[in-house]
Amino acid sequence: MTTYKDIQRATGLSLATISKYYNGRNVLEANREAIESAARQLDFRPNQHARMLRSRRSRTVGVLLPALDNDFHLTIVAGVEEALRPRGISVIVAASPDASDDPVNLLMDRMVDGIVAVTSPHDVPALRAAAARVPVVMVDWYIDDVHADGVFLDNAAAGALGARHLLDHGHRRIGFIGGEPMISSMRLRTEGFESALTSHGVPVAPALERLVPLTIDAGYRAAQELLAQWPRPTGLFTANYELTLGAVTAVNDSGLRIGRDISFVGFDSRELAQALVPKLTVIVQPTRKIAKHAARLIADHIESPGDRPAPTIEYLDAHLIPGASVIRLDD
């Protein structure tokens, strides 16, 4: 079993410095990097229970999710765990697909030192209370009155990016399927979509928008409604993974051909995009990078406890992966 002495031999650092690091005290940045590199190479796993007894801290971070059934949430967990493991911080995951669940208090009962939160609306009151006791980093959904750091996609820019791609290909009658506005990420994607239309001189048409729950069924029904209009939209833009999957299924069931009869831009569905024929054009967010940035912020709080300054908010850019699902109308 790997010990502190093995880390010492690999780094040349003193046992005191290594012990300080693993007990959550500040060490020089170069020393921290050397210890983390050696720990990865040696597969070092510190004795969490003994450390918790000494420091009265668990060096455990809770990851709060609405569910565990999509790639975005699973990638957040993987990215946080990957970034925290070398720093000797473990991860507990709690999900709340149902409003009767109480995942925030479950995490607090496990004595987590901080929470990375992709929040459900019904978890907000408990998360607000938890944020007064431990550091919280929000991901995906910003909540105004929770004292917390945040790492988010630039959602308005992402919505505008999808709209501009269709506009640049000559589309003016564009159907949009987004999430309900109470979720900030969905509201911002809608605002970005509408802003891009306006800047291109295209009026925002409420009849061409559907703001629905983030489920496959809701995406399917919304697409059906849009496709039933006449004239129907020449293009569709969906603002999250489940909505994309539902809408793609609805288009295929209608007999229309994506990339020939109707254009389509999806969201967060890289694997689906590659599997479809023709390949789907999609907006993707740097989910693993978001997770790693959130992990860095929460780890910095754990390793430098004390008065928390004003929250740190970071925004990362989405990018578009072109497929063959968007046709140019002016060709």
> What length does the chain have?
331
- Looking at per-residue pLDDT, the higher value among 21 and 230 belongs to 230
Asked if residue 296 has pLDDT above 80, the reply is yes
pLDDT digits (tens, 9 = 90+) for 60-98: 999 999 988 888 899 999 999 999 998 889 999 999 877
Q: Can you name the CATH fold of 155-285?
A: Rossmann fold (3.40.50)
- Split at pLDDT 50, 70, 90, the class of 308 is low
Is the CATH number 3.50.50.60 carried by domain 1-46? no
**Average pLDDT, stretch 149-154?**
96
DSSP letter for each residue of 200-265: TTPPP-GGGEEEE-SSHHHHHHHHHHHHTSSSPPSEEEE-SHHHHHHHHHHHHHHT--BTTTBEEE
Asked if residue 114 has pLDDT above 80, the reply is yes
| CATH class of the domain whose range is 56-153+288-316 | alpha beta
The pLDDT assigned to 54 comes to 44
Q: Are 78 and 291 in contact (CB under 8 A)?
A: yes
Lowest-pLDDT choice from 46-55, 163-172, 212-221:
46-55
The pTM for the full model equals 0.79
- Which amino acid does the sequence have at 195? S
- Split at pLDDT 50, 70, 90, the class of 276 is confident
As a whole number of angstroms, the distance between CA 172 and CA 164 comes to: 10
pLDDT digits (tens, 9 = 90+) for 29-59: 888 889 888 888 888 866 554 454 444 567 8
Same fold, 1-46 and 155-285: no
Asked if residue 1 has pLDDT above 90, the reply is no
Q: How far is CA 87 from the centre of its chain?
A: 22
Asked if residue 136 has pLDDT above 50, the reply is yes
The pLDDT assigned to 159 comes to 98
Cα-based angle 291, 295, 298 (whole degrees, multiple of 5): 140
Q: Are 9 and 44 in contact (CB under 8 A)?
A: no
- Which amino acid does the sequence have at 282? V
- Split at pLDDT 50, 70, 90, the class of 19 is confident
Question: Where in the chain are the domains?
Answer: 1-46, 56-153+288-316, 155-285
Q: Which residues in 240-272 are b (16+ Cβ under 10 Å) and which e?
A: bbbbbbbbbbbbeeeeeebbeebbbbbbbbeeb
